[in-house]
Amino acid sequence: MRPPRRLPLMGLLFFSLIPSQLCQICKVNATDFRRLEPLINTMLKANYTKGIQDANVLLTLRLVGIKNQSLEQQLSQQIKEDINSREMELTSGQLALGILALGACENPDEEFIRGAHLVSKLGDKFQAEIQNMETHDGNPLTNYYQLSLALLALCLFNGSYSITDVIYYFTPENKNYYFEDQFSVDTGAVAILALTCVQRNKTQKKMEASTEDKIKNYAATLAHKIQSEGKQGLFGNIFSTGEAMQALFVSSDYYKSETNCQETLRTVFYNISQKAFSLPIAAAQILPALMGKTYLDVTNSSCSHNPVKFNISTEKPGAVMPTTAPLNISVKYSVRINETSHTKVTVRKGSVFLDVMKAAQEKNETLFRFTVEETSWGPYVTSVQGIKANTCDRTYWKLLSNGQPLSQGVGSHVVQNGDNLEVRWSKY
């Protein structure tokens, strides 16, 4: 998204005139806008206190054209305060997302981006990621999703990056596109957007035709990998589908087929009706694509024009008093490192995975103690038995229910009676 009007960079002006996507988009018709109202309500009614973690919502509000001045000002102020207070500890992806949100669609936050030298500082963080890969077996400080977000923001806002590094590190065969043996759809999708920006942005970087073709082929190959992860209109899972749609808009002709488009929309509409997007970030990540937008549109001078009209409910849900006492359910829970520790716990019906972890910790703190970190996707498990996940070692705590990885977070996945839940020390 573009810093406001007066940014004195001619390259950015010319870049905004380049079409940001192919014609093969798949978006919701105006007659079906009512189906998107639950997404809008989720974003508008949430209680925002996390600063940079809520940047996705501001990004989407501006990109899609949802006008809510008080919320926009609140999110903008919180993000700027967070950047000012935690600038050094922000990751490359966090700062990139902040820049995209604050710089979206010609708005007054331009002065902050420019005055705080955010694009230059993002370039330093991006270079630190590259240096870490050079010395740590190709592993970035964070992950390739964040690295791709950083490259995208640098490209859109005329930041500094090396074409040589892009060619070397963003090859589709890079291990960082994979989580264990599974291709990461959302990572590949953001990489496609970044690569497409780099390939098109000839005003910033002069490159040989062979280099341009190579970058274009990278994006096409990643798009093919995304399509291979498609099933019933979704790519990866429901939460990665929005960014996958954006990537396919700019790198393939997948949505030339009306059948493909309708299959995706039908499945997304169903998941909206099932309240799959109950977290603001989940709603924010799916909505741009449904409106035919991509993150490449953030520097388009017209992206803030023609705001979309939605019927937004102002009613707050009333409390529903239970007519009977809550039922308890029993689940199995285990922690697997080199050996497996297991127990059986009883929790209230409707409990989430995190509630089970807390119940197990109360029974035996030595075996089942854990820590979590709050993110925009909810709690994220950072350690169990004192063993911490480490991006440099590519280690993390894998959460499984009945042998299958969770598609939702530890604070969102509702457990069922008889479930076999596991936290497993893993490498990706």
- Burial classification of residue 175, based on how many CB atoms lie within 10 Å of its CB (0-12 exposed, 13-18 middle, 19 or more buried): exposed
Residue 321: both structure tokens together: 């008093």
Average pLDDT, the chain: 88
Entry field: residues in the chain: 428
Q: Which fold has domain 328-427?
A: Ferric Hydroxamate Uptake Protein; Chain A, domain 1 (2.170.130)
- Report the SS3 class of residue 422: strand
Residue 412 has a CB neighbour count (10 Å cut-off) of: 18
Q: What angle do CA 172, 239, 119 make, to 5 degrees?
A: 60
Model confidence over 131-186: pLDDT tens digits? 999 999 999 999 999 999 999 999 999 999 999 999 999 999 999 999 888 999 99
Spatial separation of the C-alpha atoms in residues 189 and 38, rounded to whole Å: 25
Pairwise CA distance, residues 193 & 177, whole Å = 14
pLDDT at 2: 35
């959460």: which residue's tokens? Answer: 399
Looking at residue 244, its pLDDT comes to: 97
Residues facing residue 420 across a β-bridge: 332
Please tell me which residue, 79 or 378, carries the higher pLDDT value.
79
Quick check: helix, strand or coil at residue 303? coil
pLDDT of 107: 87
Listed in order, strand segments (DSSP E) in 214-365 are 230-231, 234-235, 328-336, 340-348
Instruction: Tell which wins on pLDDT, 284 or 1.
Output: 284
Q: Where are the domains of the chain?
A: 15-299, 328-427
pLDDT tens, residue by residue, 348-360: 998 999 999 999 9
Rounded alpha-carbon distances, angstroms, from residue 100 to 7, 118, 259: 14, 11, 33
User: Residue 319 gets which letter from DSSP?
Assistant: P
What is the CATH number assigned to the segment(s) 15-299? 1.50.10.20
Q: Is the pLDDT of residue 239 over 50?
A: yes
pLDDT above 70 covers what percent of the chain? 88
- Please classify residue 424 by burial: count the beta carbons closer than 10 Å to its beta carbon, then call 0-12 exposed, 13-18 middle and 19+ buried: middle
User: DSSP string spanning 389-409?
Assistant: PBTTTTEEEEEEETTEE-SS-
The mean pLDDT of 111-137, rounded to a whole number, is 96
Task: State the pairing for strand pair 420-427/328-336.
Answer: parallel
- The CA-CA-CA angle for residues 45, 281, 153, to 5°, reads 125
- From CA 199, how far away is CA 207, in angstroms rounded? 9
- Banded pLDDT at 205 (limits 50, 70, 90): low
Checking if the pLDDT of 319 tops 80, the result is: no
For the segment 226-253, the average pLDDT, to the nearest whole number, is 95
